[in-house]
Amino acid sequence: MSGGKVRGLYPHNFQESADNPIALSRGRMIPTFSWDAMWLGTAEWFGINATTSEMDKVLPMYSNFPSDKLYRETELYKPTGWTESPSSSVGFVCGF
């Protein structure tokens, strides 16, 4: 996997207000990226072609989101044959 990245935006303010449209009552937050954003790249990694009806069966809602809010396989995973250098860190942080 291509680690070391945080996906999504961390809220700057958790208080419900007119200036903060993603904060809802009782501490609930509206995510800046959909759940489908991560799964699109994962489905591609498993061999599902995003340009066919196969993806509509796997992720029926993905086409409702702008393409810049979806992560492709190349953004989530390192290419085949890639080797890790001893000094680089491994890990994946998901921050919706």
Kindly report, residue by residue over 32-43, the tens digit of the pLDDT: 777 778 889 899
pLDDT at 82 over 70: no
**Long-range contacts at 45-52 (CB < 8 A, ≥ 24 apart):** 45/73, 45/76, 45/77
What pTM does this model have? 0.57
Distance CA 2, CA 78 (A): 5
Confidence of residue 74 (pLDDT cuts 50, 70, 90): confident
Average pLDDT over residues 88-94: 48
